[in-house]
Structure 1
């Protein structure tokens, strides 16, 4: 593998086409009192699209993203885009951060600096990390995948190879959403290489979805059942018929935004007001990454592939040291008593605020927890 320097350069033709499509949107109707109960609110989406057309500046965000060192490489026949930021400190610890859906590498833009250059952000240079943030295969600038079998397990192997090729024999890992499963699979399949795993989400399948033995566990199972009933339609569609969905989402930028943004509102600590957690620019930049790369279809296929081949990482207890940051409004997550059946927990933090998109919502809290968890493990990376 020979990584090639990479810069984001979206053609003007793509941006002109986007503007035309936005201007020709055929809007659906909505009940006058629907709010967000039926899905993405029509009034809010119209407002956001008007901003997208008149005020949003992709080129400004493109320039910002290009301030991070980026690379691309072919690994095991799969194209991979990744950020690789060298830490500034005496002995930076390599940290692999994996994102999920409907996020992207962009989620991490607020935490990269504090993790890689802690002293510049008021921290201790001894806490510096070399930060590696891939776009998952099939996501963003890694581009669409073109074959079956791109599962969590395969992605974990690709990322393990990436870290080896970058010269990191041992490394730290962090993840939420799909990054949770990728991080778990790395720890399960290559425990000698992973010095520790920091998670801002927990799985709710396999060994965790077993009979409750106390009231706290029973309450969680009830919350999980309610979440499945109210919130998991998207996942079932992705895991069963993603191709059918792709025709609309790949053709309509408004349709794509509606599909993604509804989850940013539902899963964040925004109290129903999405812009309490994210700016319009942040929401649209994340949507743009899917739009300009045409990767909504391949991103959702990860659900299909993994559902049909299984969640390998969580069939057995993981012995690699684990740190878990429980953000208050995360998707319902198992209590510690259940988590301890799966993880070797060395740090457990109950966060007073934040939700599913922790790196965007509560970047300082996430950074501080990552630093604290890995501090006693750093000698293991020698």
Structure 2
């Protein structure tokens, strides 16, 4: 795998180029500068741009992130970036955590120590995990794909090879957003390697078998389908664009840091449990560290293209398919439309389904303690 250590070190000229572009920002007009109904608020974006230019300290964030044990490994010709935090306990369970879009590996920053060293964080050392957090290909500091076809299905194969290369013959998987798709593909494609899967999102591409000879759609399931369709109509334009013409979108985002920030920040506000105030959940530094990783990565075309690749290979199941490995689901109330348990049980062996009291799409950032406790509880009987 050509395993080697890695430290983030963005060249000074790239930081200065970002500052130059921020100084030259040309903002649009707005009918109402405060509101978010048409997209990112002009007032908020003016404040974010000013903070990014004059107060945000990338080097401080870089130094903090470099305290994480980061590595690169070459898997099937791709250089994959990942955090590998060995667990502290009598028998840590290997666990791969997968992020999504518009997140990055730093989504997991708060939960890594809680999972790896529970005794140091008020938990039971018997719940320890060996934690591996890769960056998706074309995200963060992982190399972008050079050929078509790299989607959640393919990433599951890359992760299986990465974990095997790290010495983990069997391991657990967890994720939200794209990470949920990768985790469920792992269970479907490599059942002999997967101890169990815990997710906090049901992939939109998941399609259980329906039709003659199969249970009819329940009223609860139909209500979910109606809600998902309505959500797609009002909130799904980003996915339609990224899933259809990612290259066109990348020209704008690769050239304008404020454009990129608006594209990402709107999702952090809309998809989180923030009641309309994104800074109630995320600090400006947290938002901008994640956005800066996208900016400095110079791989926006690849991260957008992931949607197109995944759309071309949805998780469609046949009537004879059933994933027998255990699955757990943490249901956060402000998540994107979530199907009822029965919809998932048409294919998966659901052993835990936990309604959460608060939190949204970015659960590892929003409610790390709640998410970690559910992960621990789900995997405890599987050890």
Residue 341 (str. 1) matches residue 341 (str. 2): no
| 1:266 match | 270
Give secondary structure in 2 for the equivalent of 1:27: coil
Q: How does 1:1-382 map to 2 (within 5 A)?
A: 1-32=1-32, 35-208=35-208, 213-308=217-312, 310-312=313-315, 316-378=321-383
Post-superposition offset of 1:203: 2.6
**Could you say what secondary structure the match of 1:140 adopts?**
coil
Q: Could you tell me how far apart the structure 1 residues matched to 2:199 and 2:315 are?
A: 17
Q: Is the 8 A contact 2:72 2:79 kept in 1?
A: yes
Which stretch of structure 1 is more off in the superposition, 31-40 or 83-92? 31-40
1:49-78 Cα offsets, whole Å, 9 max, x none, are 111111111111111111111100111011
Structure 1 residue runs without a partner (length 5+): none
Q: CA RMSD in A?
A: 1.4
**How many Å separate the matches in 1 of 2:303 and 2:151?**
11
Shift in alpha-carbon separation, 1:140–1:314, aligned structure 2, 3 A: farther
Instruction: Report if aligned partners of 1:80, 1:137 keep a CA contact under 8 Å in 2.
Output: yes
Structure 1 residues 257 and 209, CA, compared in 2 at 3 Å: closer, same or farther? farther
- Offset, 1:33: 6.3
Report which stretch shifted further, 298-307 or 240-249.
Answer: 298-307
5+ residue gaps, structure 2: none
The answer to whether the Cα contact below 8 Å between 2:326 and 2:350 also exists between their aligned partners in 1 is yes
Q: CA deviation at 1:213?
A: 3.3
Deviation digits for residues 229-258 of structure 1 (CA, Å, limit 9, x no counterpart) = 011111111111100010110011000001
Alpha-carbon distance in 1 for matches of 2:65, 2:236? 32
User: Any idea what the Cα deviations from partners look like across 1:156-195, whole Å, max 9, x if unmatched?
Assistant: 1111000000000100000111111111111011101101
Query: Secondary structure of 1:141's match?
Result: coil
Check conservation: 1:204, 1:333, Cα contact below 8 A.
Answer: no
Question: Structure 1 residues 70 and 374 mapped into 2: Cα distance closer, same or farther (>3 Å)?
Answer: same
SS at match of 1:366: helix
Maintained 8 Å contact 1:187/1:197:
yes
Deviation at 1:143, TM superposition (A): 3.0
Contact 1:204–1:334 (Cα < 8 Å) also in 2: no
Q: 1:231 & 1:209 partners in 2: Cα distance?
A: 26
Using the TM superposition, name which of 362-371 and 208-217 deviates more: 208-217
Please give the alpha-carbon distance, in whole angstroms, between the structure 1 residues aligned to 2:332 and 2:210.
Answer: 23
Query: How much does 1:204 deviate?
Result: 3.7
Superposed CA offset, 1:80-138 (max 9, x none): 00000000111110000011111100100000010001011110011000000000011
Contact kept? 1:143, 1:293, Cα under 8 Å: no
Give SS of 1:289's match.
helix
Structure 2 CA distance, aligned partners of 1:190 and 1:24?
50
> 1:266 and 1:25 mapped to 2: Cα distance?
24
- Distance 1:314-1:366 versus aligned 2 partners, 3 A rule: farther
Shift of 1:207: 3.0
Q: TM-score, normalised by structure 2?
A: 0.96
How far off is 1:152 after superposition?
Answer: 1.5
